Amino acid sequence: MANQLLEVEGLAKHFRGGGNWLSSGGDSIRAVDGVSFSVEEGETFALVGESGCGKTTVAKMILLLEQPTRGTISFQGKDVSSFRGSGLREYKRLVQAVFQDPYSSLNPRMQVMDIIGEPLRVHQGLRGRDLRMRVGELLENVGLNPVTAAFFPHQFSGGQRQRIAIARALALRPRLIVLDEPVSGLDVSIRAQILNLLVDLQRDLGLSYLLISHDLAIVEHMSHRVGVMYVGKMVELATRDEFYGNTLHPYSNALLASVPQPDPDVPMGTTIGGEVASPINPPSGCRFHTRCPIYLETNMCREVEPEWRGNLS
């Protein structure tokens, strides 16, 4: 088995809110409610689920943009919350992110040189010629001409901007990159370019990815293992082959059946009704029971929360 790079154990994030203007309602929005998984060296782990399932909140906690309410995140065997000073800086160097919208994730007032060069200056103290060389190298890595270092973001198309965001993420030679919907803002023909680039970089640099996506075709193409989230809980975790060959959870089945296939001879599967439940007062028992097509009338699904069972295979 490959080495574990990142391990998330019983992670939870509860936000205040859900009350009215007289009472805050307390910490009652349970965005993430006890999620465990790991990302191994060199693998892509995908978190999938619909809006409000908590996948982005999980990513934010890993990036230290949110404080977990409960649970631990360990990186290379060490608890991330214990990191201080240089240890913390090192973690921030090794874990990078690429976000969905390359229009808002790049500062419009900064030249590409400074966008990609900033982490190099801050973390490695590179200046002058060394800095320019390294930025040029990074631009070449992501398929851009080093001459473009003098340009501003508005001079690039969406796909090129996403390449710049990737170059910035690569600058400090990270081990893990969190990819939050990295291609959903891009045109179809550009998506393939970015996805191929990400796969090539992973192979060449031995990177690990935490891929957050709602596009199950892209997830199948990119990832080694898949975790499905529904209203703050992980409902299924499987290797890619198990997941796409033989899903176990009815929600995973519903997700797969909902994807319109680009083949007129493959009819659309049976979809489920209803909408994603709210993380404010989530349904009792199994959170999916309100939409489940095979809901057991025995009250079990409604009353008892199904236990997380590891290693079914």
Partner 1 sequence: MLREDTGNDLLLRVEGLKTYFFQRNAVLKAVDGVSFSVAQGEAVGLVGESGSGKTMTCLSLMRLVPQPGARIVEGEIWFKGDNLLDLTEHEMRAYRGHRMAIVMQDPQTSLNPVYTVGEQVAEPVRLHLKERGQQAIARVLDSLRAVRIPRPELRLGQYPHQFSGGMRQRVVAAMGLTTQPELLIADEPTTSLDVTIQAQFLRLIRDLQQDSGTSVIWVTHDLGIVAQMCDRVNVMYAGRIVESGRVRQIYKEPQHPYTRALLDSVPLMGARREKLYQIEGQPPDLRSIPQGCPFWPRCPEAMDKCKEQYPPRTSLGGEDFVHCWLTEEGR
Interacting residue ranges for partner 1, rule: CB under 8 A: 50-51, 157, 159-160, 187-193, 195-196, 199, 214, 216-218, 220-221, 244, 254-268, 271-273, 275-276
Give the nearer residue to partner 1 in terms of CB position, either 93 or 158: 158
At its nearest, how many Å lie between partner 1 and the CB of residue 3? 26
At its nearest, how many Å lie between partner 1 and the CB of residue 139? 17
Single-letter code of the amino acid located at 80: V
* Residue indicated by tokens 């200046």: 127
Give the nearer residue to partner 1 in terms of CB position, either 42 or 64: 42
Handedness of CA 16, 54, 36, 235 (dihedral sign): positive
Give the nearer residue to partner 1 in terms of CB position, either 22 or 266: 266
At its nearest, how many Å lie between partner 1 and the CB of residue 62? 23
At its nearest, how many Å lie between partner 1 and the CB of residue 312? 22
Give the nearer residue to partner 1 in terms of CB position, either 4 or 258: 258
Give the nearer residue to partner 1 in terms of CB position, either 128 or 147: 147
At its nearest, how many Å lie between partner 1 and the CB of residue 273? 7
Contact 218, 186 (CB under 8 A): no
